[in-house]
Structure 1
Amino acid sequence: MKLFSCQCCQQALYFENTTCESCHHPVGYLPGLSVLTALEPMGHGRWHPMEPQVRNAELVYCSNHEHDACNWLTTPSQTGQPPICFACRFNRTIPNLKDPKNLERWRKIEVAKHRLFYTLIRLKLPIRSWREDPDNGLAFDFLDDAPDGSAPVMTGHNNGLITLAIREADDAERERMRVEMGEYYRTLLGHFRHEIGHYYWNVLVRDAGRLESCRAIFGDDSQDYQEALQRHYNNPPPEDWRERHVSSYATSHPWEDFAETWAHYLHIVSTLETAWAYGVTIHPGIPDPSTLSTDGPMNDPYLTATFDEIMDAWVPLTSAVNSLNRSMGLADFYPFVLTVGVREKLAFIHALIRETQALR
């Protein structure tokens, strides 16, 4: 994530800001430019952005702004329907907002989902909505469990439809599930990055003629998926799973391996952009710091950095932040090991994304 600043007073702004805390200008996000802009009122809910590239545009907030669930800007509706921003157009079902608890859950979900869309746009990945492609387009259902507790909602993906159980927005419930499932890491943003990996397996592998090259790295995805999951849950993972998989869940089926690896690639490029936006470099005070040092500013991890540059920056950064967390008595920031086998899979994801960018 980049750092932003107010065009009016140069105060630092953060991605979720709706107001500059210094000059009190309203601010909104311009997804096409990846810019957070201060706004000047025009009246009737319309705004002029102070961002010079679009200074004369007439924009409105997404209608979900009224719920404090979105700060993205869009053009005024020409149909009389509420204006919906790019990220919110993919919502198919949202929780019942008459329940205050659901409203708070949905706000947390939208924070994570909007960060996902920031990354997808920065990576210049193709995205088609369920309205454009009813069979395979991307859509989100945010669903609550039935009141009687029967048939709890399962987070997952099915031909472009991503379902998220909104109980995942409850910190205590999500932590309980993390421990119960034996996971190192479980967050809303992690769920989104994993499930969108399934969507992009469809788009960039299945539908783009890359099945054989993907199978050469991740294995034969034609094996029965439900049987593979059942085996995974009924048996411990292979003892050497860390040699080839970023998580134990990734061992269950090649689709899950791809999605887990995809999610980690998004973790990496997003976090590296944030670190370098803050000017973070790593130079440990040990006799031989070479393996845990960074050389300073790197190329854009989303668009131009090579895979080796990304890996050379990621390992020192995670080592430093893991150590900082331990000093605070917290769990590791990144509790995963990127072995040679895992890096091979991450390199496939990197090449897949770079090839896609080159075609756009």
Structure 2
Amino acid sequence: MKLFSCPSCSQVVFFENVVCERCNHALGYEPRSNRMVALEPDAGLWAEAGSHARGRRWKYCHNQQFGVCNWLLDAESDDGLCAACRHNITVPDLADARNVELWRRMEAAKHRMIYTAMRLGLPLQTREEHPEGLGFEFLSSDTATGENVMTGHDDGLITIALAEADNAEREKRRTAMGEPYRTLLGHFRHVVGHWYWDRLVRDGGALDACRAVFGNDEEDYGEALKAHYANGPRPDWQNFFVSSYAGSHAWEDFAETWAHYFHIVDTLETGNSWGVTVDPRVDGQGLLTTTIDFDVFAEQTTIQEVADAWLALSAALNSFNRSMGHSDLYPFVLNEPVIGKLGFIHDRVHGRIGHGRRAA
């Protein structure tokens, strides 16, 4: 994630900020220019403030009133929802204050996922723009009937259980499923990977190339998952997959690897924004030394540059976590087969495999 500053006073601000703590200007994120905008009230709308203001006027996304979005639209736009919120199909019952807080957490994660997709130049069609466009339903389980909501993907319609935004419930599920890592943001990154498999692989002329790397996606998906949960992960999964769940089916391998690609590029952009250099004093061979001074989203950046920088940065971050008594921030190993899979996604995203950068 990029590190932002207030255009009015140059104070460092963050992606979700709605006000500058130094100059008290309202703030909003403008996705097309990837910048934070300082704002002043102007006849029911907002005028751009700061030394670089050009007289532009803005309005907040409709969902700003609920405290779940700070993205901006042009004042003259006919749209009421921003580029992230326009993908919402179903939101929680807002009469329940607890639902509003859970939805806020959902939107914070979803907006970050959308941010990375935009930075990578990926397609983001809505369901109005494409019959299998990207749409989100945030649903609660029905306590009266005992029906539980399961996170899933169906031809672009992504359902995410609202309970995943409850930290205690999510940790309970993580422990029950034996997962080393489970976050709300990771959920979004994984499940959207299924949609991008449809858009960029199935519809993007990359099916054969993908099968050569991830295996046979025509294997019965339901039976594969049933076997995974009944028998446990395949015993050699550490040799070929980024997680045990990735070994259950080629689709899950792709989605898991996609999520990790998003994890990695977003965190490396954060490292670049903070000017991070990793140079351990005991690293005589330079294996854990890196300066994150490259644009991870640039087309010319190679997967080996990404992997080398990530090895050093993740090792440092894990060490910091251990020093504070926490679990590893990134409890995964990127072996050569996994780096090869990340490389496929890296090349497909940048149009070096299939029908170019964007799918129709």
Q: TM-score, normalised by structure 1?
A: 0.95
Q: Distance in 1 between matches of 2:145 and 2:282?
A: 55
Deviation (angstroms), 1:3: 0.6
CA contact (8 A) 2:7 2:49 kept: no
Query: Counterpart in 2 of 1:126?
Result: 123
Matched ranges for 1:64-83 at <5 A: 64-76=63-75, 83=80
Query: Counterpart in 2 of 1:101?
Result: 98
Query: Counterpart in 1 of 2:241?
Result: 245
1:285 pairs, out of 277, 281, 288, with: 281
Query: Which whole-Å deviations, capped at 9, do the CAs of 1:218-266 have from their partners, x for residues lacking one?
Result: 0110111101110100012122101110011101110000000000000
Query: Which whole-Å deviations, capped at 9, do the CAs of 1:8-29 have from their partners, x for residues lacking one?
Result: 1110000000000000000100
**In structure 2, do the counterparts of structure 1 residues 51 and 87 end up closer, same or farther at CA, with 3 Å as the change threshold?**
farther
Deviation (angstroms), 1:50: 4.1
Find the residue that maps to 1:128 and give its secondary structure: coil
Query: Which whole-Å deviations, capped at 9, do the CAs of 1:107-146 have from their partners, x for residues lacking one?
Result: 000000110111011000011101112x300000000001
Deviation (angstroms), 1:287: 5.5
Q: Distance in 1 between matches of 2:249 and 2:20?
A: 46
CA contact (8 A) 1:130 1:137 kept: yes
Query: Counterpart in 2 of 1:38?
Result: 38
**In structure 2, do the counterparts of structure 1 residues 85 and 329 end up closer, same or farther at CA, with 3 Å as the change threshold?**
same
Q: Distance in 2 between matches of 1:160 and 1:336?
A: 28
- Establish whether residue 321 from structure 1 lines up as the match of residue 317 from structure 2: yes
Find the residue that maps to 2:21 and give its secondary structure: coil
Find the residue that maps to 2:203 and give its secondary structure: helix
**In structure 2, do the counterparts of structure 1 residues 51 and 126 end up closer, same or farther at CA, with 3 Å as the change threshold?**
farther
Query: Counterpart in 1 of 2:297?
Result: 302
Find the residue that maps to 2:57 and give its secondary structure: coil
2:342 pairs, out of 343, 346, 350, with: 346
Q: Distance in 2 between matches of 1:297 and 1:268?
A: 12
Query: Which whole-Å deviations, capped at 9, do the CAs of 1:181-233 have from their partners, x for residues lacking one?
Result: 01011111000000110010000000012111100000110111101110100
Q: Distance in 1 between matches of 2:5 and 2:168?
A: 34
The count of corresponding residues between Structure 1 and Structure 2 is: 355
Deviation (angstroms), 1:147: 2.4
CA contact (8 A) 1:40 1:47 kept: yes
Q: Distance in 2 between matches of 1:14 and 1:348?
A: 32
Query: Counterpart in 1 of 2:12?
Result: 12
Q: Distance in 2 between matches of 1:266 and 1:124?
A: 13
Query: Which whole-Å deviations, capped at 9, do the CAs of 1:6-58 have from their partners, x for residues lacking one?
Result: 11111000000000000000010000011011112212133335483x72322
1:130 counterpart letter in structure 2:
R
Query: Counterpart in 2 of 1:263?
Result: 259
Find the residue that maps to 2:28 and give its secondary structure: strand
Q: Distance in 2 between matches of 1:51 and 1:85?
A: 25
Q: Distance in 2 between matches of 1:93 and 1:261?
A: 28
Deviation (angstroms), 1:83: 1.6
Structure 1 moving runs of 4+ over 4 Å: 356-360
CA contact (8 A) 1:167 1:174 kept: yes
**In structure 2, do the counterparts of structure 1 residues 224 and 74 end up closer, same or farther at CA, with 3 Å as the change threshold?**
same
1:202 pairs, out of 198, 202, 207, with: 198
1:121 counterpart letter in structure 2:
M
Q: Distance in 1 between matches of 2:158 and 2:257?
A: 18
Q: Distance in 2 between matches of 1:153 and 1:321?
A: 34
5+ residue gaps, structure 2, are none
1:42 counterpart letter in structure 2:
D
Q: Distance in 1 between matches of 2:194 and 2:205?
A: 16
Q: TM-score, normalised by structure 2?
A: 0.95
- Establish whether residue 213 from structure 1 lines up as the match of residue 209 from structure 2: yes
Q: Distance in 2 between matches of 1:183 and 1:299?
A: 32
CA contact (8 A) 1:40 1:50 kept: no
Query: Counterpart in 1 of 2:58?
Result: 59
**In structure 2, do the counterparts of structure 1 residues 283 and 202 end up closer, same or farther at CA, with 3 Å as the change threshold?**
same
1:170 pairs, out of 166, 173, 186, with: 166
Find the residue that maps to 1:291 and give its secondary structure: coil
Find the residue that maps to 2:39 and give its secondary structure: strand
2:111 pairs, out of 111, 114, 125, with: 114
Q: Distance in 2 between matches of 1:265 and 1:353?
A: 11
1:60 counterpart letter in structure 2:
K
Query: Which whole-Å deviations, capped at 9, do the CAs of 1:282-330 have from their partners, x for residues lacking one?
Result: 1001151511101x24321112421111111000111111011011110
Please provide the CA RMSD for this pair: 1.6
Query: Counterpart in 1 of 2:2?
Result: 2
1:186 pairs, out of 176, 182, 186, with: 182
Q: Distance in 1 between matches of 2:211 and 2:112?
A: 30
Deviation (angstroms), 1:76: 3.6
Find the residue that maps to 2:310 and give its secondary structure: helix
1:184 counterpart letter in structure 2:
P
Q: Distance in 1 between matches of 2:357 and 2:216?
A: 27
**In structure 2, do the counterparts of structure 1 residues 40 and 219 end up closer, same or farther at CA, with 3 Å as the change threshold?**
same
2:93 counterpart letter in structure 1:
N
CA contact (8 A) 1:49 1:59 kept: no
**In structure 2, do the counterparts of structure 1 residues 353 and 156 end up closer, same or farther at CA, with 3 Å as the change threshold?**
same
2:297 counterpart letter in structure 1:
Y
Find the residue that maps to 1:163 and give its secondary structure: strand
